[in-house]
Amino acid sequence: MKFGIVRFPGSNCDEDAYKVVSNLLGEEAVYLWHEETSLQKSDCIILPGGFSYGDYLRAGAMAKLSPIVESIKKFAASGGLVLGICNGFQVLTEIGLLPGALTRNIHQQFICAWQNLRVENAKTPFTSLYKPDEEIRIPIANGEGRYSIDPKGLKSLEQNNQIVFRYVNNPNGSVSDIAGICNREGNVLGLMPHPERASEALLGGTDGLKLFKSIQKGRFLQGIRN
């Protein structure tokens, strides 16, 4: 399986994702520069955390203008797997692959801490190795991690089982405790917590590794797009 990890100016978790894929999964990983248009025949695209373009305008707003974005949209439309972590989640909402928006944390402060999450949907290609309602521990590191969506949009997320992760103790004021959502088709996931930072015991926990292993498992057993 081949993972393509997008690099924007300001990405800083790209190497973390690369090491999880290559060292822990034993899969191929390549970096994709934001000015390119080729996804190099990747099976899964990862938009990593960081501060794309310094987040000077609005988190993810400038990244959506990058040439590689149109290729990612087409890839997702064809059923390709796309994972957005933290700043990557912000980018996914800005480019329209996921609904809603990420706004300033309710206390207007940057938060960096381990958080307990509850798995709301264990039937996606990203969560198949988790159990429904399983409580896991994954860190967050964000200043604009407050997920916002209007009541109509929230109702749609709930009806279509698009809420994938919820905070047990909501740290940033996200609507309905939302920590991560997917699109209706289930092949695009965005989450604020950092699963790549919870993939080795040496780092403090391994609950995030199941997410990456779920992707790996899905590629072979569920016929996910090649």
- CA atoms of 12 and 8, how far apart (whole Å): 9
Evaluate whether 180 touches 164 at the Cβ level (below 8 Å): yes
Taking the C-alpha atoms of residue 148 and residue 146, their distance in angstroms, rounded to an integer, is 6
Q: Read off the tokens for 94.
A: 């800005």
**Beta strand 135-142 pairing with 111-119:** antiparallel
Bridge partners (DSSP) listed for residue 85: 191
Of the residues 120, 144, 182, 194, only one is catalytic, namely 194
Structure tokens at 4: 């393509």
Cα 144 from Cα 192, distance rounded (Å): 9
Tokens 């939302």 belong to which residue? Answer: 178
Which of 86, 94, 120, 144 does the annotation list as catalytic? Answer: 86
Helix (H) or strand (E) holding 28: strand 28-33
What type of residue sits at position 9?
P
86 flagged as catalytic: yes
Q: Name the active-site residue from 27, 94, 144, 196.
A: 196
Q: Which residues are catalytic?
A: 86, 194, 196
